[in-house]
Amino acid sequence: MSEKEKAKPSQPEDRQREMARLVGARIRELRIAKGYSSYEDFAYKHDMGTSQFGRYERGDTFIQLDTLVRVLSALETSFSDFFNTDDFK
C-alpha cells in the first residue's frame, strides 16, 4: 500500500469530509489566483453569503452542486479545470 493510500480516510464519512476539505481548498486557491485576497470580498461581489462561503472554503460544510456551479462560474473556471489536480485523482 502506498503512502498516499495509507493517508486516505477509510470510512465513508471521513472520505466525504476530506472531499469537502479538498474542494474548499481548491476554491480558495482559485479565488486567490483571481486576485481576491479575502473570501468576504469575493462572496459579497458575487452575491453569496460570506459566512457560508467561508465554511465552504474551510471544508466545514458540504457544498451543494448548484452552489459549486455558481462559484465556478464566478471564478470563470470549468468543472474539468477545477477537478484537474492531483488532489482529485
Domain count along the chain? 1
The answer to whether the beta carbons of residues 49 and 84 sit under 8 Å apart is: no
Q: Model confidence over 2-17: pLDDT tens digits?
A: 555 555 556 888 889 9
pTM to 2 decimals? 0.83
CATH code at position 61: 1.10.260.40
DSSP per-residue codes, 34-50: TT-S-HHHHHHHTT--H
Q: Bigger pLDDT: 7 or 89?
A: 89
* Residue at 60 is within a domain: yes
Residue 59 and residue 82: Cα distance in Å, rounded? 16
- The parent domain of residue 44 ranges over 12-84
Cβ partners under 8 Å of residue 60, min gap 6: 20, 24
Q: What mean pLDDT is predicted for residues 19-26?
A: 95
Residue 83 and residue 23: Cα distance in Å, rounded? 9
Place of cell 481548491: 26
